[in-house]
Amino acid sequence: MRTDADRSEKYTAKYVATTVGLKVASQLSTMKSNFAAEIGSLAAKELQAQGLLNLSGTQTWQYATYYGFVREIWAKKRRGIAGNTLTSQAVQLSVKYTAYLLDPGLLKSMALSLFGIVIP
């Protein structure tokens, strides 16, 4: 049976800065390539969202929150969520961001024009 000292030693060895640094370093090239592959898609959606926000006359200080809505739906689509599940998730996100005092009509418009999701 392991003692508390053994557990403590194992825990300390696992989370030593050099050990964590080596783990991150081994994954860094994969992380960078994944980021490079996906950033174009996300940036395109954000540019489209910016166009809709500009047309609607939205205050620029609210853009970041609208971008958050777009990013969350984009991330769900990227994870493979689709169909009715994606629609229900978008409805939940719409409720969440409406609570942040965003325009629900604009959120519905963004979901439809950027992702083809009809929010009732």
**Could you give the CA distance from residue 104 to residue 15 in angstroms, rounded to a whole number?**
45
Residue 120 inside a domain? The answer is no
Residue 88 has a pLDDT of 96
Range of the domain at 88: 4-115
Q: Would residue 51 count as lying in a domain?
A: yes
Q: Is residue 45 part of a domain?
A: yes
Q: For residues 97 and 84, what is the distance between their CA atoms, to the nearest angstrom?
A: 20
**Rounded to whole angstroms, what are the CA distances from 16 to 1, 19, 26?**
24, 5, 16
pLDDT tens digits for the chain (120 residues)? 778 888 877 777 776 767 777 878 888 888 888 888 889 899 999 999 999 999 999 999 999 999 999 999 999 999 999 999 999 999 999 999 999 999 999 999 999 999 999 998
In a domain, residue 75? The reply is yes
Q: Residues with Cβ < 8 Å from 90, sequence gap 6 or more?
A: 73, 111, 115, 117, 119
Contact 110, 68 (CB under 8 A): no
Q: How many domains does the chain have?
A: 1
Note the pLDDT of residue 26.
Answer: 83
Residue 69 maps to which CATH number?
Answer: 1.20.58
